[in-house]
Amino acid sequence: MSDFLASLREFVGNRGAPEPARDPVNQPMIRHWCDAMEDGNPLYTDPEAASRSVHGGVVAPPTMLNAWTMLGLIPRPTLPGNDQDPQSGALARLDAAGFTSVVATNSDHEYARYLRPGDHIAGTLELLDVSEEKQTALGTGHFVTTQTTYHDQHGEMVGAMRFVILKFKPGTGRGSASAGEGPPPPRPLRPRPGISSDSRFFWDGVQADELRIQQCTSCGTLHHPPVVRCPRCGSYELGYQVASGRGTVYSSVEVHHPQVPGFDYPVVVGLVELEEGTRLLTELVDIDPERVEIGMPVEVAFEEVEPARDGNPGWKLPLFRAARPARATETLGFEDVEVGAQLAPCPIPITTTRIVACAIASRDYQDVHHDRALAIQRGSPDIFMNILTSSGLSSRYITDWAGPEATLRNLSIRLGAPNYPGDCMTMYGEVTSKELQGGVGVVGVAFRGTNRLGHHVTGTTELVLPVAGGAGA
């Protein structure tokens, strides 16, 4: 062991002083969080609905646990010489040695109870481990594992979090050396469609984020692909209707060979039956091919397959994704859940707005989550999603499936490929266990969120579901 590592590990087992949250648990922060995460569970924001629930009143989303004690925009000064505090001890030494960048990799939440407005919690940080120096894709660094225990103002333990961060030296990652050699070569282009005066309305619509279906202005009949004369009524007066963009998969294939530049193989091509009744051929994106099923609800995503460059406008195509599953308004019963059951895939488009809104809603002011220029300066291609958002979106996915009163006991996640703007993360889940524990129905779910770079998040959770005739959650 190097002397430096030994000096870091001196702090292992040390515990800092309880750090009180700046504010009590409060409705405005909860509402901001729910807006940013698009979490519609009424038990977080609707006092009337919440009063009739197992909680008896409004509760905070459980994954907000560590958001309450985040430092905020103006960080607390480190306390020199406080060797009991891992924050000012080991982490400060890592900073001093040049390991100034930080990225979170694991978050394991335990929830003793859901927090309510008015709770005022404090977190106590303990250093569990500092790894040997590792070369990672991001850079050379040390993984630092901490445990934070949360108590309310009455001293009741309300939850705990085991957290792993990578402290690394900026500019030492595998992608760093080439980052200075200019942008990557432009992606090969897909074939462009032939367009005639009869079909131009469709492609113009796509560029304006509209899915247009040709419609006879005389008899109203829809036609796709377009005709030049309505075969039903004989009219040459043809306009269009703007489609809702929703439909179902009528048939689909998985193209493996031959591989043509411009596409990522296997390519899933779907024949989509639109709500309006006509069909459209399209690519089904952001979905595991094996999860595509005939009849699956899908919705359009206007994807810029040729970015605007050098004054040329970009080029969009109407691609389709799985439709976001409807949020369950009734909570699943313990008896209704079967081990091995698959949760419907849920795509979550990753935008700059979502990353920034969720970072701020979780009180995470790390520049890499909101400042593109600084993120690039630190060797990242763009800003990226913070780990609290990954937790928050994971819990949203689980409770949107299980229902508003499904109560999380814990949520463990591990992060992989970053979520950058312009990507889409699709959540998948499967019921892995089901057990009655002292009359309480506990269901285990394994889940993951996959983007175009790989698995962004993999995790597990245990949730309590009501048992028929029992005390429920």
Partner 1 sequence: MTMEFAGKTAISGIGATEFSKESGRSTLRLAVEACDAAIQDAGLQPADIDAIVTFTVDVNHEIDVARSLGIPELTHFSRIHHSGGAACGTIHQAAMAVHSGACKNVLVYRAFNERSEQRFGTGVQDRAANSDPMEVDFGWSSPFGLLTPASWVAMFAARYMHEYGATSEDFGRISVADRKHAANNPKAFFYEKPITLEEHQQSRWIVKPLHLLDCCQESDGGQALVVTSLDRARDGRHAPAVITSAAQGSGEDQQMMKSYYRSEITSIPEMGLCARQLWDDSGLCADDIDAAIFYDHFTPLVLPQLEEFGFCARGEAKDFVKDGNLELGGRLPINTNGGQLGEAYIHGMNGIAEGVRLIRGESTNQPEKSDRVLVTAGTAVPTSALLLSGDA
To partner 1, the closest distance from the beta carbon of 449 in angstroms equals 24
Joined together, the tokens standing for residue 302 give: 């206007």
Number of other residues whose CB lies within 10 A of the CB of residue 281: 12
Q: What is the DSSP string of 110-151?
A: EESS---TT---EEEEEEEEEPPPEE-SS-EEEEEEEEEEEE
**Of 127 and 424, which CB lies nearer to partner 1 in the complex structure?**
424
Asked whether 145 and 166 are in contact (CB, 8 A), the reply is: no
Residue numbers 198-217 binding partner 1 by CB under 8 A: 198-199
Helices H / strands E in the chain, number of each: 9, 19
Q: How far is the CB of 141 from partner 1 (least distance, A)?
A: 40
Cβ distance to partner 1 smaller for residue 137 or 195: 195
Q: Does 319 bind partner 1 (CB under 8 A)?
A: yes
Q: Which amino acid is at 132?
A: E
Q: What x/- string results for residues 229 through 258 when contact with partner 1 is judged by CB under 8 A?
A: ---------------------xxxxxxxxx
With binding defined as CB under 8 A, does residue 278 bind partner 1?
yes
Which x/- pattern over 167-196 shows residues binding partner 1 (rule: CB under 8 A)? Answer: -----------------------xxxxxxx
Per CB under 8 A, does 269 bind partner 1? yes
Which has the closest alpha carbon to 205: 322, 323, 349, 318? 318
Instruction: Calculate helix-pair angle for 27-37, 352-361, nearest 10 degrees.
Output: 160
Relative to beta strand 407-415, strand 454-465 is antiparallel
**Which DSSP category does 447 fall into?**
E
Task: Choose the binding region for partner 1 from 51-59, 162-170, 171-179, 276-284 (rule: CB under 8 A).
Answer: 276-284
Does residue number 452 form part of the binding site for partner 1 (CB under 8 A)? no
Of 113 and 279, nearer to partner 1 (C-beta) is 279
**CB 340 → partner 1: shortest distance, Å?**
23
3-state secondary structure 284-340: ECCCCHHHCCCCCEEEEEEEEEECCECCECCEEEEEEEECCCCCCCCCCCHHHCCCC
Q: What are the Cα distances from residue 307, in Å, to 186, 188, 310, 390?
A: 9, 11, 10, 28
Question: Which of residues 5, 49, 92, 267 is near partner 1 by CB under 8 A?
Answer: 267
Interaction with partner 1 in 373-402: which residues (CB under 8 A)? Answer: none
In the complex with partner 1, the residue whose CB is nearer, 202 or 334, is 202
Residue choice 137, 157, 294, 468 for contact with partner 1 (CB under 8 A): 294
Residue 449's SS3 state is strand
Sign of the CA dihedral running 94, 100, 104, 108: positive
Amino acid of residue 388 = L
* Closer residue to partner 1 in complex, CB, 169/223: 223
Cα dist from 66 to 50, 125, 164, 311, 441, whole Å: 23, 11, 13, 45, 26
Helices 387-402 + 352-361 axis angle, to 10: 90
Integer CA distances (angstroms), 398 to 63, 115, 157, 246, 337, in order: 12, 18, 25, 23, 13
Q: Please identify which residue in 175, 220, 225, 314 interacts with partner 1, judged by CB under 8 A.
A: 225
Which stretch in 152-160, 234-242, 275-283, 427-435 sits in contact with partner 1 by CB under 8 A?
A: 275-283
Least Å distance between CB 287 and partner 1?
14
When the beta carbons of 4 and 250 are compared against partner 1, the nearer one is 250
Provide, rounded to whole angstroms, the least separation between the CB of residue 100 and partner 1: 44
Q: Of 289, 381, 416, 444, which lies in the binding site for partner 1, with binding defined by CB under 8 A?
A: 289
Minimum CB separation of residue 158 from partner 1 in Å reads 50
- List contacts with partner 1 (CB under 8 A): 190-199, 224-225, 250-258, 260, 263, 266-267, 269, 271, 278-279, 281-283, 289, 294, 305, 317, 319
